[in-house]
Structure 1
Amino acid sequence: MRFSKYLIPIALTIAVIISLTLSVVIWTNPANYKNRQNSSQNTQNEEITKPKRYVYAPTQAIHTDSNGNQTILVNRLVNSVSEIQKTMHGYKNVHLKTLSTKSQDKYFQIANRPNSIMLNYVSPVSIRVISDVTNKYFEKLPNHQVSRIVLPTNDSTRIYLLNDKNFAVYQIKVKKHSLKNLNKVLNMNIRRVPASLQLFNGQPMIYVKSQIQMQPYKYLIDRQSEDYYVSRLLNNRDSQSNVTVKRRKNLVTYSDQNTLQLAFNSRTRMGTFSDFRNNSDQQSVTSVLDDSYEQLVDLGLPLDSVRFFNYDTNSRTVSYRTFVEGFPIFRANGFGTISTQTLNANAKRLQFSLDNPEVPIPSKQGYSTLPATETAIRRLIAKGYHAKDIRDLRIGYGWQKDKSSQLLINLIPDWYVNYKGTWRSYSSLINRY
């Protein structure tokens, strides 16, 4: 009986000694360390990969009050779009009805509806993609293209979808639900910028009604190595060929000698992955965006602030940008964060940057003042630019290298103008002559 009294403590002591011994072996064995590192990396990859509902969420929210006044809800302390998106997960008994097409009057009647929040995309998506945002509630609806989502704040039985291309208006009837959380968003600490939705060159565009002050930022960037992407995009593929390397001036090209090629430009810090295997050659917006998202996952970049920006149907190029306070980042060449392109049934291309914003650092710079939309357009025309060649204007952040460190960038607020299909900063256009 006395021996049994000490049996459990002795057993526990032995177990602790064995555990400590095994830990020492594991932590001092390089092979085990490598396995542990790979396991940690896999866990990290799972954490940075965001579901499609994050990547394909709308990028801008506009509130229309009871008097019809509109304001852009700017993300500062609160991500307004994300908070609104959280309220879109309880729709039931959904039914879609086409209210009109090619009617500007009906389109603007719904877009400017008092007591509503309008969520905007830069480029149209499909209802199937929006269904991912609403936790699959819309997946059985007709798969129309959509540019904007209008959520009434005083009617819990209707939602409206708008398509800028043909001024289509779709009404979705849903089972009555609470609007309490949606209206709560409007009471959060959100910056409001007076704005209005107007026609420009025959297409709807958001006008900022007065000059706006914007906060510059410094960002610590994540400088990823070439080896990381070689491992993700070439070594993990089905091909059993050895990877070869060719170097020429600023260009380093890795290839599996068969169907995959990965090139890096050391001067621009850009990577281009070319896949020459057979693909399904997607044609619809839904299938293109689905396939593009899978390529993002393969790439393994952090997607916390990365959002879908545009889909060019002519070149079948999907582009994504990193957003700060709800505003997109533009680099000097107009490039964003990632772009994917389907060339044909035998070729796809993925372009990305090895440097991406990671951690914001307080900037000592004062606020930048940007002109109202109408003022910016008027000044561009006065400088000799043709209004018909201006396709869009939106506020964004310009990427500039910081002279004090290679690991820092400056994000400078500016208007960005889609002129003849290319995004260029307003400042560079104005100062060109």
Structure 2
Amino acid sequence: MKKNKQWRVNIRYFRQRYGVIIALIIAILISIFLSVQLWYSPGQSTKQQRANETSQENATGENLTSVYSISQMVFNRQDKNISAIDYRTLYATIVDRVKKWDAGYKSSEVLKKQDYLDALSQEKSIVMTFPDAVSGHVIKSIFGKRIKLANNATINHVQVPQGDSNKFYFYDDRHRKRYTYQISNAPKKLQHLKPGKKTADVSYQWVGKHVMAATTTSVNLQSYSYLLDVDSTVSRLTKLFADGGTRDVNNGQEILTYSNGDNRRMQHNVTTGLINYDAYNINRDVNSLSQRQSEGYRWLLRLHQNADNLYYFEEHDKGQTLTYRLFVNGLPIFGQTTYGTVRVKQLPNNHERIGMSQYSLRVPLPTDQKNQVNLEPMNDAMAKLQSVGVARDDIEQMTIGYRWQLDTDNQIVTLNPEWCFEQDHVWRSVNEQVKSEQGGH
């Protein structure tokens, strides 16, 4: 009996002395638990993800070099011009060295068409060509802030010396303009760089409003196969939205629509795999190619489209439409759909639309070295088009690329090299165009 009484006394004493503290601890734990639950609710998860993306953008800064890269490198020799097929490592070496040069702006001039080609062909030099115009801001991000060039300048080619010249140049196809820079100090020069074993002879030609180094001999290129990546893009993007999406069927196509109020909407066409992400009420002034290319890069980060092999491909209307494509071995991938493509489009009323696909490439499969394709010189490919009624003046651009072909049974993508051309802002396969015009025979 005394023990029970003593026990009750001890309990009362413990409660009086520590009860408030224990109650406070319990209240704090409950508060933390509820806060965590609220924090990881779908809406807060979206906000946190956006905060993480903003942090990622700030940490990465304007690292435009990861997306805005060249698509061709040519070594100008005394007797011929040679295009390096595998140029990525060489490009990184050149950029690293040029960034350490002391160079000052000297002059700029507008050249006649033939003079422009002759200047690009200058022997003992290396010409690096972007797939389409990039802004002066991108150029400075790549080669260093010491380059004095207006942010709104448009550049297609960079020419650096391999001989005794102390000048290098930037070229603007649209205005046939050449910018000259004087090198005062170059700790590491480029004389000993070579194009590698895999090369093609080329000559500089005007195609539409662009200059390209067109192959003058046939070239053998490897075909590749990849496993198809289906789900990762959708799973990442749906985390940006609090709702689970509403399902609808239009014309036999199943469409999922996600929304975050009035500012963000995403439509995922489950049937085709195409995705449109709409951003409304954009409160930033994005009016120049420089601003739009920076904005395009930020959208790639926000929407997790910054794959290692995704690069800038082309722009239209001073960057109001920007296209990024997957590249394999330095060449862009094309297909009948937007597979492997991200398109950022600026629309009226502060509206931007980003089009992409849920399908991408995952794992490369073992390569059969015998599985190669022999591609004719560019002028031969152009002659094919002219034979079926496509006028040379109607061709806006031409390039060798990889055509995306999907085996739906095995979920394997085969990439075969072939000539592609642009007409009316649409890219097509030369072979497919010829077949179509000849009635499929």
TM-score by length of 2: 0.79
2:86 to 64, 68, 75: 75
Assess if the C-alpha contact under 8 Å between 1:110 and 1:150 holds in 2. Answer: no
- Using the alignment, how far apart are the partners of 2:233 and 2:327 within structure 1? 23
Counterparts in 2 of 1:411 and 1:166: CA distance versus 1, 3 Å: same
Structure 2 letter corresponding to 1:134: F
Residue equivalent to 1:209: 216
Q: Is the 8 A contact 1:245 1:255 kept in 2?
A: no
1:64–1:113 CA contact under 8 A, matched in 2: yes
Output one character per residue of 1:149-189: Cα deviation in whole Å (capped at 9) or x when no partner: 00111246321011111211110123220344x344316x4
Whole-angstrom CA distance in 2 between matches of 1:334 and 1:427? 19
Displacement after TM superposition at 1:301 (Å): 2.8
| Separation (CA, whole Å) in 2 of partners of 1:318 and 1:173 | 33
User: Which residue in 2 is equivalent to 1:12?
Assistant: none
Q: How does 1:8-407 map to 2 (within 5 A)?
A: 51-65=63-77, 67-75=78-86, 79-98=89-108, 100-138=109-147, 141=150, 143-155=152-164, 157-180=166-189, 182-186=190-194, 189-201=196-208, 203-223=210-230, 224=232, 226-232=234-240, 234=241, 244-248=245-249, 249-313=253-317, 316-333=320-337, 336-364=340-368, 366-406=371-411
The aligned residue for residue 411 of structure 1 is 415
**Percent identity of equivalent pairs:** 22
Q: Structure 2 counterpart of 1:229, which letter? A: L
- Counterpart Cα distance in 1 of 2:257 and 2:176: 46
Q: Which of structure 1's runs of 4+ aligned residues deviate more than 6 A?
A: none
8 Å CA contact 2:340, 2:359 repeated in 1: no
In structure 1, distance between residues paired with 2:388 and 2:186: 52
Q: Once structures 1 and 2 are overlaid, which stretch shifts more, 423-432 or 365-374?
A: 365-374
SS state at 1:264 partner: strand
8 Å Cα contact 1:161-1:171 kept in structure 2: yes
Q: Distance in 2 between matches of 1:68 and 1:212?
A: 19
Quote how far apart the aligned CAs of 1:220 are. 2.4
Q: Which amino acid aligns with 2:179?
A: Y
* One-letter code aligned to 1:245: T
CA offsets per residue over residues 182-202 of structure 1, 9 Å max, x none? 344316x44111111023446
In structure 2, what is the Cα distance between the partners aligned to 1:358 and 1:184? 37
Aligned residues: 384
- AA aligned to 2:284 is S
Q: Look at both structures and tell me which one has the larger radius of gyration over its CA atoms.
A: 2
Q: Is the 8 A contact 2:323 2:343 kept in 1?
A: yes
SS in structure 2 at match of 1:175? strand
Partner-residue secondary structure (3-state), 1:296: helix
What's the offset of the Cα at 1:316? 1.1
- Aligned AA for 2:421? V
The CA distance in 1 between the partners of 2:147 and 2:353, in whole Å, is 31
Separation (CA, whole Å) in 1 of partners of 2:238 and 2:410: 27
What is aligned with 1:4? none
Q: Does the CA-based 8 Å contact 2:275-2:356 persist in structure 1?
A: yes
Give, in whole Å, the separation in 1 of the partners of 2:139 and 2:361.
Answer: 27
Give RMSD over aligned pairs: 3.0
Q: Deviation digits for residues 276-333 of structure 1, max 9, x if unmatched?
A: 1233342211000011111011011343111111111178110111111111001213
1:95/1:172 contact within 8 Å kept: yes
Unpaired segments of 5 or more residues in structure 1? 1-30, 236-241
